[in-house]
Every structure is written in C-alpha cells, then in structure tokens.
Structure 1
Amino acid sequence: MGWKLNVHGWPLLRVEVAEQSMLPALRPGDWLLARRTRRIRPGQVVLAWHPSRPGFLLVKRAVRRVEGGWWLQSDNPAAGAVDSSRFGPVPEEKIVGRVLVRYWPLRRSLSRTGPR
C-alpha cells in the first residue's frame, strides 16, 4: 500500500488495509489504529516503510530482530506478499509504529448485523 504520512505528527495514526497479505488476521478494507513507535516485539503487527520503495507503507508481522533490523513477514505468503523474504530485514528507522487495534467502517459493520 502506498501512503504519505507525516512522521512527526500525532502519536496515533490510522491506515486502511489494501491487500490480502495479512489474511486471515487483516482483510482489505479493515482500518488499523497504530501508535508511532520503534519499540516493538516479535509477534506484533507493525507499519513500516518498504526498504527500497519510498512512500510504500507495509503492514506486516514482526518476526524477529536480526542483524540489519527487523524480519517482517506476511501472514498469507500465498497472496504473493512482499515481505522480508523478498527484500531482507527492514532497518529500525523504517519502522513507523505498532498496530493497536483493527476496526471496520460503519457501513461494513452494519452489513454484518443486518436482518436475519
């Protein structure tokens, strides 16, 4: 997903999931609220700038810290996901934040609870 974020703005930011690389945990159209931080732990879902595509924001799971940064992985590699298996570790300075919560737009939530 391509995003332009003001990295010196609010401590919280929201982004929309655009691809299927994090299924089943995250689906296209889900919205995420994230906290800007580089303090992450293995297993957390994070936002990070793609190491070689400026302006391309990734939503991935932090797997482990390795030499050169963090190893980030897709939950659904079958979707042709772009993650550390393709571009290697993501430098610490490319980590934008940690996802705190997922939510859905009101119209999608209502469609799930419609008449039975």
Structure 2
Amino acid sequence: MPERTQERGPGQDERGGGLLGRIGLAEVYNPSMEPTLRPGDQLVVAYGAAVRAGDIVVLKHPFQHDLLIVKRAVERRAGGWWVQGDNPLVENDSREFGAVPDELVVARAWLRVRSPRGVHPSVSSWARWTAGAVRPLVGPGRPRPAGAASPSLARRLRAR
C-alpha cells in the first residue's frame, strides 16, 4: 500500500535559512516504523541535516515524489541510502524500491513526541504518558530495535 502525505504551511523562509526554515514537524500515519514510532506520533525534524546509518529520516518515495515516507537509514550503498521500516511485516522500503538517492532525503528526525490518544483521564495515566512522551531519536542512547543498524516549526509534514 503506498504511503500518502500532505504538506502544509510555508516552506523555508525567503532567505532560505534561519532556524525556522530548517526545523519542522512530521506526523506518523503508518505502522511501518513500529515499535519505534506509532501512528499518531509527531516527529521534530531537521531539513537538510546530515544523515548517518541508524537515523530515522523523512524522504520522498522513489516512485511517487509527491509522497513522503518515514524510514530508518540502514546503510550507504552505491545508489544512495538503503532504508527500511522497523516493522518487518511492512515492506514499503528499500526491499521493494532499492537504494534511495540523497536528493530524495528531506529531513532527519530528532525527537519523537508520542500521541496522547488512548491515555485515560487519570493522573497516573497522564504521568506515565508524560514520562515517555518525548524521546530523542539522535545521539547516544537513541531508541533502536533489535537487529537495526548501529549508529555510524516552519513546515508541517504529514507522512506515513
């Protein structure tokens, strides 16, 4: 199933830079990155940031450039980045379309903000949600599922 996305908001500012022109939000709509990311999670992303193996990235789908997808950059290959979802049951990734050229990588995810959907309206439920709601996706100690590669608010994206 192809992943769909919708871009909203102003792109980078006219000067082509500035902090707000390089930071944005993406929303996860598809289970391809479970258990690391769930549908409804928000990602704080950095546009044009350097990518390393193990990073979670937002990229244009190689066959449908109007679609944005969220995947893990596994390794560099001759044709670009080999990307895969963390969910082995969803194969809409490099196993299906091969390595992704660098120019299709849009942003690197920095933080995950878990959706509060399904949190019961009790103090203990909200306290548990708050403790794990925000997680860094870059740097030492970033969440990484078993078998994943080791590490080597200007625009809002809706990405699956």
Note if 1:99 corresponds to 2:109: yes
Note if 1:58 corresponds to 2:69: yes
Fraction of identical pairs, as percent: 36
**Distance of 1:87 and 1:101 partners within structure 2:** 27
Q: Structure 2 stretches of 5 or more lacking a match?
A: 13-20, 125-160
1:67-107 Cα offsets, whole Å, 9 max, x none, are 111000110021x33000000011000001110001134xx
Q: Structure 1 stretches of 5 or more lacking a match?
A: none
Q: Partner amino acid for 2:47? A: R
> What stretches of structure 1 move > 6 A for 4+ residues in a row?
none
TM-score for both structures, normalised by structure 1: 0.86
Note if 1:3 corresponds to 2:6: yes
- The DSSP-based 3-state class of the residue aligned with 1:21 is helix
| Count of aligned pairs | 113
Q: Is the 8 A contact 1:45 1:98 kept in 2?
A: yes
Larger radius of gyration: 2
TM-score for both structures, normalised by structure 2: 0.64
Q: Is the 8 A contact 1:69 1:91 kept in 2?
A: yes
Pairwise CA RMSD: 2.2
Map 1:29-68; keep pairs closer than 5 Å.
29-68=40-79
- The DSSP-based 3-state class of the residue aligned with 1:77 is coil
